[in-house]
Structure 1
Amino acid sequence: MLQLTQDLLDQIQGIAIAAGEAILTVYQRDFVVEQKDDESPLTEADLAAHHLILAELNKLTPHVPVLSEEAADIPWSERQQWTEYWLVDPLDGTKEFIKRNGEFTVNIALIQQGEPVLGVIHAPVLDKTYAAAEGLGATRQQHGLTETIRVALTPASGEVVKVVGSRSHYSADIEDYLSRFPHHELIAVGSSLKFCLVAEGSAHLYPRFGPTMLWDTGAGHVIAKVAGAVVEYQGIANPAYHRENLKNPNFLVGT
């Protein structure tokens, strides 16, 4: 199994940044939006990032399989044998990409024995890269500066609870959840950046009531966890990233 080293984390960060550059070449011009079978949007930027990441990971760790959103039709009979694998969302937040609001990311995570242990989230338009690995800490890099990140303290009674939610998937369940906090502020943001806001201390909670897939959460899970957050999935004792069903249950990221 791969050793979790700073060198490995740096190389994955470099791959995510290169994928972000490939995405930006499409982002800065006109592009066609297609619909996948599940009616989610797909652009050439998704595919460009996917092919780049796949090629680079295969060069870096040829013996480690890759599960990517854009190549997820790998049967469980094969995945069941994996003890470790790369989990990739080449362009998380395609809807935000199409809206051109900059709130989309490249997500790469390493899963070992069903647990996310290393993760990188790169937001190319925002020039932010979050990275973490078990035993190595969690960082945010922006404009060439890298700093360690840590979750915020749990707010005392009566203080404002900062809750981060989806910009594209706001629901009645979120409204019901927020009602338990008399003093709260809702911060809307797209893609896996919601995990990052909790990890860096900009928000206290990220409740998710709605569909997500393994590749949506793997990198964010480890970044938030290493930064000190607790990530709880409804009905699952552990994250269980080694399972047949690629869909996640509801979950809560908190301090």
Structure 2
Amino acid sequence: MSHAETIMSNPELLAGLVKLTKEAGDVILKIYHSNHFDVQKKGDESPVTAADLAAHHYLIAGLERLTPMIPVVSEEDITSLDIGRNNSSYWLIDPLDGTKEFINKNGEFTVNLALIEANKTIFGLVGVPITNTVYWGGQYLGAFRQEQNTSYPITPIECVKANSPIRVLASKSHLNEATKILISELGPTTLLQAGSSLKFIRIAEGLADYYPRLAPTCEWDTAAAQAVLEGANGSVKQTSGEPMVYGKRDILNPHFIAMGLS
């Protein structure tokens, strides 16, 4: 039995992971609503805030408690990258995906936890702090949503079949010329925009159809939401048609296309 199957068959463990994702979002929101957060630059010039680091530490402690046998790779710990290259099974987390959206105060940021096995993402949790919602799922495991502020029921989610015009998602921060050209070749389209891993989630919920990404992303940007989308019967493939690969020597993803039911 895979770690993902173990999680899905253990209601207490699953609930603990959903709760951890939600609580990491609460840690982020406390800083978000304070209006006092310093923005620093990492070595690659990408921004990082106190919220990224606070969520990182909260998730690391929680995962060590809930799944002590599974090592963790985090965007906010560059020394952890070798774990993914040298272990067949590990957590891959992005404690705050959409730091630019966080800084711009538009609410479109997420908490991403993905379980990687044999270079594939097999289970993921995506928290949306601003709506107090957590999504989770994986290929052949289904996909689910739960609002966390009260005892809301767990709701299955699923992609829908695309109709014309195709609802195409593009990044708010990275809509480049190559993406515009690809979209123009699809025929009638309606262009939607969303930040962070929410683009995958929109497709998984049946609110969009197609997300081409012809600009740089890292493995931790995509793994969790890809698992949720695949659980909702969607797909994420390289533009070559090959599957996405995790735990590579180069943490950058190839260009890819995420989509629902064609």
TM-score, scaled to structure 1:
0.93
Q: CA RMSD in A?
A: 1.6
**Are the aligned partners of 1:9 and 1:118 in contact in 2 as well (CA < 8 Å)?**
no
Matched, 1:146 2:154: yes
Match of 1:52 in 2: 58
Question: How do 1:196-215 residues align onto structure 2 when only pairs under 5 Å count?
Answer: 196-215=201-220
Question: How do 1:1-255 residues align onto structure 2 when only pairs under 5 Å count?
Answer: 2=3, 3-6=6-9, 7=11, 8-29=13-34, 30-74=36-80, 76=82, 78-142=83-147, 144-155=152-163, 159-235=164-240, 237-255=242-260
Which of the two has greater helix per residue? 2
Secondary structure, aligned partner of 1:52: helix
**Are the aligned partners of 2:22 and 2:132 in contact in 1 as well (CA < 8 Å)?**
no
**Are the aligned partners of 1:166 and 1:190 in contact in 2 as well (CA < 8 Å)?**
yes
Secondary structure, aligned partner of 2:57: helix
Deviation digits for residues 63-114 of structure 1 (CA, Å, limit 9, x no counterpart)? 21101000133364x5433010000000000000001110000000111111
**Larger CA deviation: 124-133 vs 207-216:** 124-133
**Are the aligned partners of 1:4 and 1:133 in contact in 2 as well (CA < 8 Å)?**
no
- Measure the CA separation in 2 of the matches of 1:51 and 1:224: 27
Residue 183 (structure 1) shift: 1.5
Taking structure 1 as reference, are residues 75 and 131 closer, same or farther at Cα in structure 2, changes over 3 Å only? closer
Residue 24 (structure 1) shift: 0.7
Residue 5 (structure 1) shift: 1.9
Secondary structure, aligned partner of 2:94: strand
User: What one-letter code is carried by the residue in structure 1 that aligns with 2:159?
Assistant: V
Residue 235 (structure 1) shift: 4.7
Q: How many residues align?
A: 251
Taking structure 1 as reference, are residues 33 and 93 closer, same or farther at Cα in structure 2, changes over 3 Å only? same
**Larger CA deviation: 131-140 vs 213-222:** 131-140
- Measure the CA separation in 2 of the matches of 1:36 and 1:238: 29
Taking structure 1 as reference, are residues 135 and 161 closer, same or farther at Cα in structure 2, changes over 3 Å only? closer
User: What one-letter code is carried by the residue in structure 1 that aligns with 2:214?
Assistant: F
Secondary structure, aligned partner of 1:73: helix
Residue 175 (structure 1) shift: 1.1
Deviation digits for residues 26-66 of structure 1 (CA, Å, limit 9, x no counterpart)? 00111111111111111000000000000010111222110
**Larger CA deviation: 9-18 vs 94-103:** 9-18
Residue 239 (structure 1) shift: 2.0
Percent identity over paired residues: 38
Residue 152 (structure 1) shift: 1.3
Residue 252 (structure 1) shift: 0.2
**Larger CA deviation: 126-135 vs 49-58:** 126-135
What are the ranges of 5 or more consecutive residues in structure 2 without an aligned counterpart? none
- Measure the CA separation in 2 of the matches of 1:171 and 1:126: 29
User: What one-letter code is carried by the residue in structure 2 that aligns with 1:136?
Assistant: L
Taking structure 1 as reference, are residues 75 and 41 closer, same or farther at Cα in structure 2, changes over 3 Å only? closer
What are the ranges of 5 or more consecutive residues in structure 1 without an aligned counterpart? none
